Structure 1
């Protein structure tokens, strides 16, 4: 659901892209029907798109704030991506003066990488690409400045957006024009792309670790005891008491690291003067207290079930 147009030549590189992102949810067969109609140009505006999606029982979320272009080193990177069940597929073009490379990734693994020196490259669905190609053949003047080319690309994106909801009506245009020969351009592209993919790999690793930690936190949060027995008093020293946890309770810290397991003692504090060894400790409606008279207790730990 994107359209990216790139020019790469001896003057430099200019790229233009829309900012549309579309999320789908619904029956796969109906989704296929909707996408087929979109890519064949049967649906030509947002209102008809939303109405057709509703007819097919498909939930749609349209946003026009996705940044598909980025300056990386002395290059411009354009990216279109598709999220699958398990992995994200990315198609990228990196462009600079006198050189470009097209890279296809699954996750952060490179599946293909092709290089060129000059040309106009278009990323998008078949229908949007055909519209853009026809407009470029009519409007293009290679002798003009990169700024002029950017203006032409933006005008083309505007016209394509008026004919298909797969392209939004908000755009980014970026220009880079460092001094590179064909050879030095590819050398620079190789270094830039290798580093950029390393950054993506690190990001994905950090994201996976974060998701794992979040999953762990959700799992542990579900185990926090808000009602039930937790143990019994085994010693008393003024307002400090030692409580032995029962066989179904553990104590953890704020990072969910276990501090005490079943049968082990934890420190608690009380203001009650009527407390005896053997008194049962419970959590009642999320309040830690003595079972016999609901006297409040305090502790610096989190009590969870196993």
Structure 2
């Protein structure tokens, strides 16, 4: 789980986060047990985390490449995610001068949305959040500039990263300070958030379409013919042949777009001059050839069974 710290007030908004991403692979029950220890603060270092993961039989991958905060219009957005089997839950904070909104999403559907004017807000697992709140109370002064607030947030992230491997050791800090009063801030937040969620919805739709296409490609790849009859020659024009596919063969281009159905014709090419009408075309030893003499044929299509 990430750690995101945000200040929203009359000076503007400053937000800081770590960049750690943790990848897991292994038994679900063992993973839940490992996460329970991790998020309670019992595991202190990356080395302890890796050792404990080995004990539970869980493979982990730690990287420092996650972007958890970004700018959206004149706002800063922070996001933490929880991935379930069929859905991703997102908790976001959008902040600007004199206003913020916290939005919870299931996929791209809004579950809840609340607004405020001034606050210091922390997103994170229980242990990291408690540690951050203690350090904020210790270090915070309301007279600080936004730049210095960002420096303090980065110091806090650094201190907590030494106590838990849930937080990495590289950070992002972003500041926005447009001149808004509280009503202007909420109007801007409403417009910016609505646009941002629409972008997320379109992105998810594209992912879904890509997934459908990928599943289609996988299904078709399983049907690629590597042995057997595929059709017969119905026309010869020099080295170019017109081949009529049989009733069980279809053809696709390199992007898996269907270009010929069963019993339709496709182009193939031969380097030989002895091709005759009615010659059978087969795939043998994964090579396209004439059945009568095994002479090679060429084509730029993918032949699949129904």
Give me the TM-score of the superposition, normalised by structure 1: 0.95
State the partner residue of 1:94. Answer: 94
Mean alpha-carbon deviation: is it higher for 20-29 or for 196-205?
Answer: 20-29
Provide Cα deviations, 1:161-210, integer angstroms capped at 9, x if missing partner. 10111111110011111000011101110000000000000110111111
State the partner residue of 1:255. Answer: 255
Aligned partners of 2:131 and 2:11: how far apart in 1?
Answer: 26
Aligned partners of 1:235 and 1:146: how far apart in 2?
Answer: 77
Distance apart, 1:301 and its partner CA: 3.0
State the partner residue of 1:57. Answer: 57
Alignment gaps of 5+ in structure 1: none
Q: Cα distance 1:257–1:101, how it changes in 2: closer, same or farther (>3 A)? A: same
Q: Cα distance 1:266–1:28, how it changes in 2: closer, same or farther (>3 A)? A: closer
Superposed CA RMSD in Å reads 1.5
State the partner residue of 2:117. Answer: 117
1:199 aligns to what SS in structure 2?
A: helix
Mean alpha-carbon deviation: is it higher for 25-34 or for 190-199?
Answer: 25-34
State the partner residue of 1:12. Answer: 12
1:165 aligns to what SS in structure 2?
A: coil
Give matches, 1:118-157, under 5 Å: 118-157=118-157
Q: Cα distance 1:300–1:50, how it changes in 2: closer, same or farther (>3 A)? A: closer
Give matches, 1:141-220, under 5 Å: 141-220=141-220
Distance apart, 1:155 and its partner CA: 0.5
Distance apart, 1:107 and its partner CA: 0.4
Aligned partners of 1:263 and 1:279: how far apart in 2?
Answer: 15
Aligned partners of 2:254 and 2:234: how far apart in 1?
Answer: 25
Aligned partners of 1:73 and 1:241: how far apart in 2?
Answer: 59
State the partner residue of 2:282. Answer: 282
Provide Cα deviations, 1:36-71, integer angstroms capped at 9, x if missing partner. 111221111111011011101111111111010101
Distance apart, 1:32 and its partner CA: 1.7
1:209 aligns to what SS in structure 2?
A: helix
Give matches, 1:22-33, under 5 Å: 22-33=22-33
Aligned partners of 1:52 and 1:109: how far apart in 2?
Answer: 37
Provide Cα deviations, 1:243-301, integer angstroms capped at 9, x if missing partner. 22222211223333333322333333323232333322112233221112111223343
2:277 aligns to what SS in structure 1?
A: coil
1:103 aligns to what SS in structure 2?
A: strand
**Post-superposition, which runs of at least 4 consecutive aligned residues in structure 1 deviate over 6 A?**
none
Alignment gaps of 5+ in structure 2: none
Give me the TM-score of the superposition, normalised by structure 2: 0.95
Aligned partners of 1:2 and 1:256: how far apart in 2?
Answer: 40
Aligned partners of 1:74 and 1:237: how far apart in 2?
Answer: 65
Aligned partners of 1:41 and 1:236: how far apart in 2?
Answer: 76
Aligned partners of 2:129 and 2:36: how far apart in 1?
Answer: 15
State the partner residue of 1:231. Answer: 231
Distance apart, 1:90 and its partner CA: 0.5
Query: What count of residue pairs does the alignment treat as equivalent?
Result: 306
